[in-house]
A = this chain, B = another copy of it.
């Protein structure tokens, strides 16, 4: 199942003509997971042809306006488009009051179920058949969460040659083995899945830092991420201001990527002061080579992992 990551907004705090406010959309098959939802998201989704009718979960890092003000308009537009599928929204305390207050005064009716999950404890906050989402308290100026999307391992590769050699007839029994269950042959012999299949294949992991300065535990949280999306609001020369404001620099993001053994790092939440973000890229790449600075509508594909 393909995963496509689309950066819908890559600015920090205030937008620019080139950068909308923060939002990262992960499309996995027919499902969408969105990390933060800054003002303008609904229009960015239209421009990215993302669609408003897919299964959707939104994860809000913290209750600053630039990360959350796109939600009411997104929900209202989905209702105007007669969306039917449920929307799940996760975020720190305040997200419920914000959404319910806004809906009450703006009087818009929803055409779909909306479930708001306030996150009080870090750890696993959502589990589906084949993935989980975990949250970790980060270190910003208000309570803020980092999120990790983690696919569960897939069963190993199936070897027809081995199955035939063991006398398993092609058909339903192959499917049972492929789903990881043993089968009993007409002969009475039992065949275990690992006799005909390779090692489990690991799932993909995407980590989103939200707004934060470096914090204890993030490296473990982000361990072995295939994609680490990390904020880098200010460049290294402004490290002191970044720390005061609860933000990270490119070098700090890149150090986290190195220590976490991430495969790829994408910097985002770029301050409006950088009309040209090359300085951020260069500072990070000195520490971690496979780095990019996100631009609005940058798309990355994460292929299935075969090992």
Interface residues, chain A, with chain B CB atoms under 8 Å away: 13-17, 20-21, 39-40, 42-43, 46-47, 63-66, 68-70, 72-73, 76-77, 80-81, 94, 97-98, 101-102, 105-108, 142
Indicate if the CB atoms of B142 and A63 lie closer than 8 Å.
Answer: no
The docked-state distance in angstroms from the alpha carbon of A94 to that of B39 is 21
**Inter-chain contacts of A97 with B (CB < 8 A):** 105
Indicate if the CB atoms of A81 and B14 lie closer than 8 Å.
Answer: yes
The chain B residue sitting closest to A99, CB to CB, is: B105
The docked-state distance in angstroms from the alpha carbon of A77 to that of B15 is 9
Residue contacts A-B, CB under 8 angstroms, 10 given: A14-B77, A15-B46, A16-B46, A40-B43, A64-B107, A65-B76, A94-B105, A98-B102, A98-B106, A101-B105
Indicate if the CB atoms of B17 and A63 lie closer than 8 Å.
Answer: no
Indicate if the CB atoms of B39 and A42 lie closer than 8 Å.
Answer: yes
**Inter-chain contacts of A98 with B (CB < 8 A):** 102, 105-106
The docked-state distance in angstroms from the alpha carbon of A116 to that of B42 is 28
The docked-state distance in angstroms from the alpha carbon of A39 to that of B45 is 14
Indicate if the CB atoms of A14 and B42 lie closer than 8 Å.
Answer: yes
The docked-state distance in angstroms from the alpha carbon of A97 to that of B13 is 24
**Inter-chain contacts of A66 with B (CB < 8 A):** 73, 76
With contacts A65-B76, A101-B102 known, what are 16 further pairs, Cβ within 8 A? A14-B77, A14-B80, A15-B46, A16-B46, A17-B43, A39-B39, A40-B40, A63-B106, A65-B72, A65-B73, A65-B106, A69-B69, A98-B102, A98-B106, A101-B101, A101-B105
Pick from B20, B81, B107: contact of A63, CB under 8 Å: B107
Indicate if the CB atoms of B16 and A108 lie closer than 8 Å.
Answer: no
> Distance in Å from the Cβ of A52 to the closest Cβ of chain B?
9
Indicate if the CB atoms of A39 and B106 lie closer than 8 Å.
Answer: no
**Inter-chain contacts of A69 with B (CB < 8 A):** 39, 69, 72-73, 106
Indicate if the CB atoms of B108 and A65 lie closer than 8 Å.
Answer: yes
> Distance in Å from the Cβ of A158 to the closest Cβ of chain B?
44
